[in-house]
C-alpha cells in the first residue's frame, strides 16, 4: 500500500484478521502504533496526511458534528481553527471486538495555541481492510470542565476567552441554544379574545383547579429565573451554556407573562385575582411547592441540576390538565395550542438540564439523586391529589399518582408505563393547516439551517 504509515507494517500476512485481534500482543501493538502515528501527525502544522489513516467510507464525529468519508474528514482536520496543538496522552486502552476490529480509547489533555490545557477523550475503531488496518469510526469530545474548579463551585469557571462565543467548542450545547432560538414565541401569538365564553362553561371545581395551577406557574417561572440568575449563570461560565440560559430566562419570562394574562382574562373578581397573583404568600399548597423549588438556589451540594430537572418536569402536569380539558371541550383550540408551545419549551429546558448534568465533574450519588426526585414526586402527589385534588376536573387520583411517578421515572431514564397514553401525542410532530388555526410546531425561519441548506441545486431528490 503506497504511502502507508509505518505502523501498518505490523500487519500479519500469515494469519487472518480475526486471529490477529485475538492475540493481545499483536492488537495492542497495532493500537499503540496507530495512536502514536495519529497524534504525531495531528500535532504537526500540516495535518493533510491524517486522511490516510481513515478508511474510504469512515465516519468522524467531532464534538457532535458528523463527517462521512475520508475526503470530508481530511478537510475537517486540515482546517481546524488553530495554529499549534499539543496532545498529552494520560491513558489509553485497546480491546478486540467480536467482529475482529480493535477498539481504542484515548484520554488526555490538549493545548491549543496559548490557551490553557483542555481535557479530551477520543474513541477509534480500527478494521482490517485489504490486509491493512484503518480507522472506520472516530468520536472526539472535549471535556467541559478543563480547568481546576474554584472552591465551592460545581462547574468549571471557563476559559479566559469565555466572553467570545466562537469558535464553538460544545456543539451539543450550542445546538440546544439554536433549537430554543428557533422555537421562540410571544404572548401576542395566543389569541385570548374568545376564551371567556369557554371559561364560563367550566364547572366551579374545574375553575378552582385551573386558577390555582395558573397561580403557581405564574410565580414558578419567576423562581426559575431567580435560580438561573443567582446560581447557574454564576457557576457555569461556558459561553454555549450561558447563551442557552440567557434565552431560557427570556422564554420563562414569556411563560410568566402568559400565565398572568390568563389570570387577568379569566378571573374578573379583583380580590381573587390579587390572591392568585400573590399565591406564594396566600395559598399554602402553592407555598410548599415554591419553597421546594427555592431551596435549590442556596443548595451547596451538586444536586441543584437534579432539583431543577424535577421542578421543570412538574410543569407537564399542568399541561396534562390543560390538554385533557381542551380535548374534552373540543370547542376551543387555544388551550391546546398553549400547552404545545409551553410543553415544547419546558421539555427542551429539562433536556438541557439533563445534558449539563452529564458534564458535572462531581456528580451527586445515585442515592442523593433518587432522594431529590422522590421528594419532588411526594410534593407533587400531595399537591395534585390532596391539596388540590385532580378529581375536581374528573381525573382518577390513583392514575394521576402513577402519572407523576412516570414523569419522574422518565427523568431517571427508567422505563415505566404511562397511564395516560394520549399524552404521548404532545411530543409528536404536528401537521397543522395555517388557514384553520394557529400552530405550535413551527420554528423561526432560517434558524438551525446551515449555509449549504440554502444552496440552489438542480439534482436534489424530491
- As beta bridge partners, residue 96 has 102
Is residue 323 within 8 A of residue 336, CB to CB? The reply is: yes
Other beta carbons within 10 Å of 263: 19
CB-facing half-sphere around the CA of 330: CA atoms within 13 A: 1
- CB neighbours of 79 closer than 8 A, spacing ≥ 6? none
In this structure, is the dihedral angle defined by the CA atoms of residues 41, 45, 47 and 49, taken in order, positive or negative? negative
Measured CA to CA, the distance from residue 420 to residue 426 in angstroms comes to 12
Q: Which three cell numbers stand for residue 437?
A: 388555526
CB distance 50 to 38 below 8 Å: yes
Where residue 314 falls (left for φ over 0; alpha for ψ -120 to 50; beta otherwise) is alpha
Computed on alpha carbons and rounded to an integer, the radius of gyration of the chain in Å comes to 27
Secondary structure (DSSP) of 103-115: EEEEEEEEEETTS
Quick check: is 259 catalytic? yes
- The whole-angstrom separation of Cα 209 and Cα 137 is 54
Distance of alpha carbon 301 from alpha carbon 379, whole angstroms: 21
Do you find a cis peptide bond into 43, omega within 30 degrees of 0?
Answer: no
Contact by Cβ (8 Å): 157, 136: no
Cα end-to-end span (Å), the chain: 41
Task: Say if strands 54-62 and 132-142 run parallel, antiparallel, or are unpaired.
Answer: parallel
- Which of 39, 177, 245, 259 is flagged as catalytic? 259
- For 451, residues 6+ apart whose C-beta sits below 8 A from its C-beta are none
Q: Is 334 helix (H, G, I), strand (E, B) or coil?
A: helix
Give yes or no for a contact between 390 and 324, defined as CB atoms under 8 angstroms apart. Answer: no
Count CB-CB contacts under 10 A for residue 217.
Answer: 25
Catalytic positions: 259
Amino acid at each position: 500500500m503506497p504511502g502507508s504509515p509505518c505502523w501498518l507494517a505490523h500487519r500479519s500476512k500469515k494469519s487472518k484478521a480475526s486471529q490477529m485481534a485475538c492475540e493481545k500482543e499483536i492488537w495492542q501493538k497495532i493500537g499503540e502504533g496507530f495512536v502514536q502515528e495519529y497524534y504525531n501527525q495531528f500535532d504537526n502544522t500540516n495535518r493533510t496526511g491524517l486522511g490516510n489513516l481513515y478508511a474510504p467510507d469512515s465516519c468522524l464525529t467531532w464534538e457532535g458534528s458528523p463527517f462521512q468519508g475520508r475526503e470530508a474528514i481530511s478537510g475537517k482536520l486540515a482546517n481546524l481553527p488553530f495554529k499549534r496543538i499539543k496532545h498529552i496522552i494520560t491513558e489509553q486502552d485497546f480491546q478486540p471486538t467480536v467482529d475482529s476490529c480493535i477498539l481504542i480509547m484515548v484520554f488526555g489533555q490538549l493545548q491549543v495555541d496559548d490557551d490553557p490545557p483542555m481535557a479530551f477523550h477520543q474513541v477509534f475503531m480500527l478494521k482490517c481492510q485489504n490486509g491493512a488496518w484503518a480507522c472506520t469510526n472516530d468520536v472526539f469530545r472535549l471535556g467541559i470542565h478543563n480547568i481546576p474548579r474554584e472552591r465551592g463551585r460545581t462547574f468549571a469557571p471557563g476559559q479566559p476567552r469565555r466572553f467570545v462565543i466562537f469558535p464553538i467548542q460544545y456543539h451539543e450545547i450550542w445546538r440546544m441554544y439554536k433549537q430554543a432560538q428557533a422555537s421562540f414565541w410571544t404572548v401576542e401569538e395566543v389569541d385570548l379574545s374568545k376564551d371567556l365564553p369557554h371559561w364560563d362553561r367550566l364547572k366551579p371545581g374545574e375553575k378552582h383547579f385551573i386558577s390555582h395551577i395558573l397561580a403557581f406557574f405564574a410565580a414558578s417561572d419567576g423562581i426559575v429565573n431567580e435560580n438561573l440568575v443567582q446560581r447557574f449563570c454564576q457557576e457555569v461560565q461556558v459561553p454555549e451554556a450561558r447563551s442557552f440560559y440567557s434565552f431560557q430566562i427570556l422564554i420563562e419570562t414569556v411563560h410568566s407573562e402568559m400565565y398572568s394574562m390568563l389570570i387577568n382574562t379569566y378571573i374578573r373578581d379583583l380580590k381573587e385575582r390579587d390572591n392568585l397573583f400573590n399565591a406564594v404568600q396566600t395559598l399554602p399548597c402553592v407555598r410548599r411547592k415554591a419553597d421546594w423549588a427555592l431551596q435549590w438556589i442556596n443548595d451547596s451540594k451538586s444536586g441543584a441540576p437534579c432539583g431543577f430537572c424535577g421542578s421543570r418536569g412538574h410543569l407537564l402536569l399542568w399541561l396534562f390538565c390543560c390538554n385533557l380539558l381542551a380535548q374534552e371541550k373540543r370547542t376551543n383550540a387555544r388551550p391546546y395550542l398553549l400547552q404545545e408551545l409551553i410543553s415544547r419549551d419546558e421539555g427542551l429546558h429539562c433536556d438541557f438540564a439533563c445534558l449539563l448534568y452529564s458534564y458535572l465533574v462531581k456528580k451527586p450519588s445515585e442515592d442523593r439523586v433518587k432522594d431529590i426526585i422522590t421528594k419532588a414526586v411526594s410534593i407533587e402527589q400531595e399537591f395534585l391529589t390532596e391539596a388540590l385534588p385532580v378529581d375536581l376536573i374528573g381525573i382518577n387520583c390513583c392514575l394521576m399518582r402513577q402519572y407523576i411517578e412516570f414523569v419522574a421515572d422518565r427523568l431517571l431514564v427508567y422505563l415505566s408505563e404511562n397511564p395516560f397514553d394520549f399524552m404521548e401525542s404532545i411530543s409528536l410532530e404536528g401537521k397543522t393547516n395555517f388557514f384553520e388555526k394557529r400552530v405550535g410546531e413551527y420554528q423561526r425561519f432560517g434558524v438551525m439551517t446551515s449555509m449549504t441548506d440554502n444552496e440552489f441545486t438542480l439534482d436534489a431528490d424530491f
